[in-house]
Chains A and B, each alone.
Chain A
Amino acid sequence: MKSQTIGLNGDRKVTAGPSRRKVIKSLAATTALAAAASSMPLFGRYGQAQSSEPIKIGFQVHRTGIGAAYGRWYDRTTKAAVKKINDEGGINGRPVEIIAEDDGTDPKRGAEVVEKMATQHGCDIAFGTLFSHVVIGSAPRAGELKIPYFVVSEGHHVASGMLNRYTLQPGITDVKSQVQAMAPFVNNTLGKKITMIYPDFAFGHDHRDYFSAAVEAQGGEVVAKIAIPPTESSFTKYFPKIPRNTDVIYHVMVGPAVLTFVKEMGEFFGNSRPEIFGFIDSLEAVDLASPGLEFLEGTYFWEGNPRYAQANQSEYDKAYRAAVGVDANGASISDSKDVATYAHMFGCWETLHIVKAGMEASGYAGPKDRAKLIEAVEAMTSMPHSHAHPQGAKEFNGKTHQVFGHQYITRVTNGKLVLAHTTSIADTYYPDEVDYTTQSF
Chain B
Amino acid sequence: MSDLKKSWTLHLSIIALLFGLQFFLPAYHHGNLARIMVLTCYAMGYNILFGYTGLLSLGHALFFAAGMYGLSLSIQHLGWMAGPAMLAGLLAGFVMALVIGLLLLRTAGVAFMIVTLMFAQAGFLTVLYFGELTRGDEGFVIQQELRSIAGIDLSDPTSRYFAALLLMAVCIVITLHVVQTGFGRVLVAIRENDERTRMLGYDIQRHKLAAILLSGTMSAAAGAAYGLLFGYAGATFASVQYSIFPLLWVLLGGAGTVLGPLIGTLFMFYLIDLSSNLTTAYMLIAGLVLLALTLFAPQGLVGEIRRRGLRWLP
A positions within 8 Å CB-CB of B: 63-64, 101-102, 106-108, 111-112, 115-116, 119-120, 132-133, 136-137, 139-141, 143-144, 155, 157, 162-164, 200-203, 205, 229-231
Contacts and interface: CB of A to CB of B under 8 A. Distances in A.
A251 B31 CA distance: 42
Nearest to B39: A108
Contact of A140 (B35, B231, B237, B276): B231
Contact of B138 (A119, A136, A163, A164): A136
B131 A205 contact: yes
Nearest to A231: B125
B181 interface: no
A200 B131 contact: yes
A229 B128 contact: yes
Given A163-B141, A230-B137, A119 B230 contact: no
A278 to B, nearest CB: 21
A155 B138 contact: yes
B103 interface: no
Contact of A108 (B28, B31, B135, B236): B236
Given A64-B283, A107-B234, A140-B144, A112 B32 contact: yes
Interface string B223-253: 0000000111011110000000000000000
Contact of A102 (B27, B28, B282): B282
A139 B140 CA distance: 10
Q: Which of B144, B231, B273, B282 has the most A CB atoms < 10 Å from its CB?
A: B231
Interface string B272-305: 0100100010110000000000000000000000
Nearest to B269: A112
Given A120-B26, A201-B131, A108 B237 contact: yes
Contacts of A141: 230-231
Interface residues of B, number: 33
Interface string B128-139: 110110011111
Nearest to A61: B280
A111 B229 CA distance: 12
Contact of A119 (B31, B129, B144, B236): B31
Contacts, number: 91
B22 interface: no
Contacts of B280: 63, 102
A264 B236 CA distance: 28
Contacts of A162: 140-141
A133 B31 CA distance: 21
Interface of B: 26-28, 31-32, 35, 125, 128-129, 131-132, 135-142, 144, 155, 230-232, 234-237, 273, 276, 280, 282-283
A107 B232 contact: yes
A348 B138 CA distance: 21
Chain A facing B: main interface SS? helix
Contacts of A64: 283
Nearest to A120: B28
A141 B155 CA distance: 9
Contacts of A137: 139, 232, 234, 236
B144 A164 contact: yes
A107 B139 contact: yes
Given A63-B280, A139-B141, A200 B236 contact: no
A116 B273 contact: yes
Chain B CB count within 10 A is highest, among A63, A136, A143, A162, for A136
A112 B35 contact: yes
A230 B139 contact: no
A202 B27 contact: no
Contacts of A229: 125, 128
A143 B139 CA distance: 17
B273 A136 contact: no
Contacts of B128: 200-201, 229-230
A108 B230 CA distance: 9
Contacts of B236: 106-108, 133, 137
A205 B155 contact: no
B141 A140 contact: yes
Nearest to B242: A108
A292 to B, nearest CB: 28
B31 A136 contact: no
A147 to B, nearest CB: 12
24 contacts: A101-B276, A102-B280, A108-B237, A111-B232, A112-B32, A112-B273, A115-B31, A119-B28, A120-B28, A133-B139, A133-B234, A133-B235, A137-B139, A137-B232, A140-B142, A140-B230, A141-B230, A163-B141, A200-B128, A200-B129, A201-B235, A202-B138, A205-B131, A230-B137
